[in-house]
A and B are shown apart, each in its own frame.
Chain A
Amino acid sequence: MDKNRKVYQFKNPVLNWIEFRLPIISYFKKEYGDYPMPKNCNYFWSFGALATITLVTMIVSGIFLAMNYTPHTDMAFDSVERIMRDVNYGWLMRYIHSNGAAFFFIIVYIHIVRAMYFGSYKYPRELNWILGVFIFLLMMATSFLGYTLPWGQMSYWGATVITNLFSAIPFIGEGLKTWLLGDYNVGNATLNRFFALHYVLPFVIFGVVGLHVAAVHVHGSNNPDGIDIKTNNDSVNFFPYMLIKDTVAMCAFGVAISAVIFFGPNLMAEVDNYIPADPLVTPAHIVPNWYLAPFYAILRAVPDKLGGVLLMFGAIVILFVLPWLDRSKVRSCNYRPIYKWFMMGFFVNFFALGYVGMLPAEGLYLLIARVGLLYYFGFFFIITPFVGWIEKPSKLPLSISDVYAKNIAPNIGGGEKGIPSPAMQKDTNL
């Protein structure tokens, strides 16, 4: 051990006692107290905190649901109904959990949109982006496994359709599918292992989130202008400024999710899932959860079984290499006059794919899905590298403070440099 290690001194002797043995107090002070946040960060930057809060809420409500759930094909459906009718506040925990899953995806999609539009995935945050895509993949797997557990018609047939994707793999497909299911079709063995995995994966996600947060704290958060912090004038401390801002965001989020939980808890649920699973009858119209629908649309847009599966998984895997497909050094789309519109087009296209993914794959819907598929992959393979090559970015501000000087100056007129922001006033007082 390094004898010359400098031990941080606090006023509280208990904190000093802990700090000397495990420097966790100074770690929290550094990462969540003094951690500098770019002062131009808008509310888009609160969605990481919201996602963490939602993850914890999902884990807690899930643990309490598991106390009353039975993973057996004969009892699963009834145990969920018992949770709804007999268990104290069981209905509340189940609605928190089911709607929490949907809101988790809403938050994470906004978080990803933020990262893409403002170029957070670029140097030096590529690994952070990769960890994020990994979290997204784990989330999709976890939500799929969880959707199976109530053992309604949608649970059963959703599980059947998704696990049959693996049978598309040449030679080993059928064997792999049977191995995954532990049976020749979705049965009790499947339900048991899906429950075991659905319980453990959120903790894996929690671990990767830890790495994701640790990685972003190394180089600091990106910001809407995509330029680095240069001086103290460019940043504010995480505590209390960003903590309060995140708390405001959390309150707004709480109002939104409460409105759904208490007034429309089944808005995002499928009626057919309130019918117990029946291996002999398939519902007329199988729909994935809306948050997986864009990828389902890609699957159905391809007339070949293996091709559809490959493109669907490819649509997610392609995200891993986005930092290397984008050749532009400018992070924020606010300073990229051409790419900005293609980026917005990408978001609209993704939304449209999700929309048609919920509808029958025929006629106009199928055509939209195919056009959407072309744009999705065209965006990554052609537009992103090519636009980065030809585009002339707008002039970047010299610093983050400079953004404010420019924005505010016209309002007060004259030759003034602009009103110092509250954070700057604080610094000059010191």
Chain B
Amino acid sequence: MAKKPKNKRRDFLQLSTVTLGAVGTAAFIWPFLKSMSPAEDTLAAGSTEVDISAIEEGQSITIKWRGKPVFIKKRTKDEINAAKMVQASDLRDPQDDADRVQKEEWLVLVGVCTHLGCVPLGQKVSDMKGEYDGWYCPCHGSHYDTSGRIRKGPAPKNLDVPPYTFLNDNTIKIG
């Protein structure tokens, strides 16, 4: 091929044309792929402010954040102690309770089981709370403790803690 200079020129033209075509095609495809990711208004709806003044000790509320349930629980002394007693190294997904809360009576969790995405039970007084008195996922039987950590069942990870900040004593901003 490279013997004749004529072919070199042709090779160059062919390669540069194909390259230009490939770059052009990619540039054309990109906006279409990008259009499928969350739109500006969806992103703008990504944070929620919650009034927590009405929540009593031991009570838990569920709010919607980015379309997912978020559990906000005011824990009792017993529950906090139960969560603190556990040795993190014994857990499937080792994490201390202190790393999962900002103020120890307030536990904020994304209420989505880390196994296959069901919403665990345990928000209502009448719900099953599982063997560790936290949450219990009815789909495939995962048990979470009073810190939302996985203790038993198929789920691989602890319940997620969403990004949140206390705007004041009575208001949490999630997201």
Contacts and interface: CB of A to CB of B under 8 A. Distances in A.
Contacts of A85: 40-41
Interface residues of A, number: 14
Interface stretch (B29-37, B53-61, B104-112): B29-37
Interface string B34-78: 111101111000000000000000000000000000000000000
A86 B32 contact: no
A300 to B, nearest CB: 40
Interface residues of B, number: 10
A93 B31 contact: yes
A84 to B, nearest CB: 11
A230 interface: no
Nearest to B29: A60
A231 B37 CA distance: 56
B31 A89 contact: yes
Q: Which of A61, A64, A88, A92 has the most CB of B within 10 A?
A: A88
A86 B35 contact: no
A91 to B, nearest CB: 10
- Give the secondary structure class of A's interface: helix
Q: Which of B31, B35, B42 has the most CB of A within 10 A?
A: B35
A85 B41 CA distance: 9
B39 A86 contact: yes
Contacts of B34: 88-89
Contacts of B31: 88-89, 92-93
A392 interface: no
Interface of A: 60-61, 64, 67-68, 82, 85-90, 92-93
Which 10 pairs, one residue from A and one from B, show the smallest C-beta to C-beta distance? A89-B31, A86-B40, A86-B41, A86-B39, A87-B39, A88-B34, A89-B35, A88-B35, A92-B31, A64-B32
Interface of B: 31-32, 34-37, 39-42
Given A86-B42, A92-B31, 6 more contacts: A61-B32, A64-B32, A86-B41, A87-B39, A88-B31, A93-B31
